[in-house]
Amino acid sequence: MQPLESRINYKFRNSFLLAEALTHPSLAYESNRPHFDNQRLEFLGDAVLQLVVTEELYKRFPGSPEGHLTKLRSRVVSRRALARFAMMIHLGDYVLLGKGEESTGGRRRLSTLADAFESLIGAIYLDTGPKEAQRLILELFEGEIDGMVTSPDERNPKGELQECLQAIHPIAPAYRIVSESGPDHRRVFQAEVVWQEKILAAGKGKSKKEAEARAAAEAMRLRNWED
């Protein structure tokens, strides 16, 4: 199994689809194969992402009107968010670029990462159908959507922190619950966010997810990874 397949826990039946998903238009142009790039798969993957995320938000927010659901979906599938999810699986390491695109930093360009992520989803969809595509999407998007449940009207601080840190290094921040207090019906949790073995901040909340979100928000305020 290729390293990327190991990262996403998925083995392609048709390896040609994976190669197509990873081929940036710049390489297709330079190799005189203008019809072999990931643009068509990107188009398909975008539609699959929209459907899976729409269904998940519909289930998670049963009382929300259409307008609010649309805003939440836009937040999850924005170009910056998709690039962040691509960083989580180190997708940029596997994209096949032309020499010009490579030399100008294309491997870490947000648009390149977002497009490749959509293409990968499209390739999985064609390879085995919607079930595996849905599994990967929901596994990667779990933290983002959980953050919306905690703070539906605000930006997801966990996602924002991860975006900032993974722009510096591909390692994602980790969260740990360090204490619990109070009676069962009024528990208070304290979480810490750790990155590269450094504690960035702590936060308290009525649930583990709320404590983690507050720790992330505090880390964004302190920004002590810049020290």
Q: At which residue do the structure tokens 């019809």 appear?
A: 35
23 SS3 class: strand
Complete DSSP assignment for 169-217 = -SPPPEEEEEEEES-GGG-EEEEEEEETTEEEEEEEESSHHHHHHHHHH
Axis crossing angle, helix 39-60 with helix 66-76, rounded to the nearest 10: 130
Catalytic option among 20, 37, 115, 118:
118
Catalytic option among 46, 144, 192, 210:
46
DSSP structure class, residue 29: H
- 46 as an active site residue: the answer is yes
Q: At which residue do the structure tokens 């583990």 appear?
A: 208
Q: How far apart are CA 144 and CA 127, in angstroms?
A: 26
173 closest CA partner among 155, 160, 185: 160
Complete DSSP assignment for 56-97 = HHHHH-TT--HHHHHHHHHHHTSHHHHHHHHHHTTGGGT-B-
- 153 as an active site residue: the answer is no
Q: Which pair of tokens denotes residue 62?
A: 């049963």
Give catalytic residues, as residue numbers.
46, 118
